[in-house]
Amino acid sequence: MKFFVDGANVKEIKELAEMGLVDGVTTNPSIIAKTGRKIKDVIAEICEAVDGPVSAEVTATDVEGMVREGKYLAKIASNVCVKVPLTEDGLKACYRLRQENILVNVTLCFSSMQALMAAKAGATFISPFIGRLDDIGQEGMTLISEICQVYDNYPEITTQVLAASLRHPLHVKQVAEIGADVATLPAKVFKQLVKHPLTDNGLDAFLKDWQSTGQSIIED
């Protein structure tokens, strides 16, 4: 499974990249707005920090506007992946951008049939939102399972399932078990995945035992 960071904090992204954990990054207008910086500058800096796809979302809602913004964003760096909403105009924009070999992430997916339409339009990634479905009493994981099953039925589909709106480690575990291609998660969830109390307790015990010997691994 690939791991993408969902955020725009370049410092956090670089720290995770140093652990070899970052395969890409996803952003959205809300995340970019919180930085207080120009989108072009933020995306360019993130693209320089990671080798994988960096999703940058359009804000236009009409097809011509989305295509125009998408082409502009794609010029920022070679690893920009243009993010468009799963609407009729979004699918038209996806198809046109893909005709020019621009990576496209179709976002705000909430049904397997929407996901199938995005795949037909040539989407590089489809982003189903798990947490938001859970919030309204529906089972987000069921959607991931349904999309994976539909895609697996058709070998010609190359669209990758990018599980989004992951809120905690259990979400990550579940999408990994189902077989999603990518999980995008906030930096804090990355850190929660690494931590375990038994690891900390075991390390403390090892260090105390070693210190009692008075030895040093590297001797002068």
**DSSP codes of every residue in 27-58:** --HHHHHHHTS-HHHHHHHHHHH-SS-EEEE-
What DSSP element (H or E) covers 182? strand 182-185
Phi (first) and psi of residue 74, to 5 degrees: -65, -25
CA distance 124 to 161: 9
Task: Show the domains of the chain with their CATH numbers.
Answer: 2-211 (3.20.20.70)
pLDDT attached to residue 140: 87
How many Cβ atoms sit within 10 Å of the Cβ of residue 198? Answer: 7
pLDDT attached to residue 151: 98
pLDDT attached to residue 99: 98
CA distance 122 to 132: 25
CA distance 123 to 209: 55
The pLDDT of residue 220 is above 80: no
CA distance 95 to 182: 22
- Report how far Cα 37 is from the mean position of its chain's Cα atoms: 21
In degrees, rounded to 5, the angle at the alpha carbon of residue 110 between the alpha carbons of residues 97 and 155 is 60
The pLDDT of residue 163 is above 80: yes
Q: pTM to 2 decimals?
A: 0.92
* Structure confidence at residue 62 as a pLDDT band (50, 70, 90): very high
Residue positions annotated with a catalytic role: 83
Nearest residue to 74 (alpha-carbon basis) of 45, 50, 53, 51: 53
In degrees, rounded to 5, the angle at the alpha carbon of residue 151 between the alpha carbons of residues 148 and 183 is 40
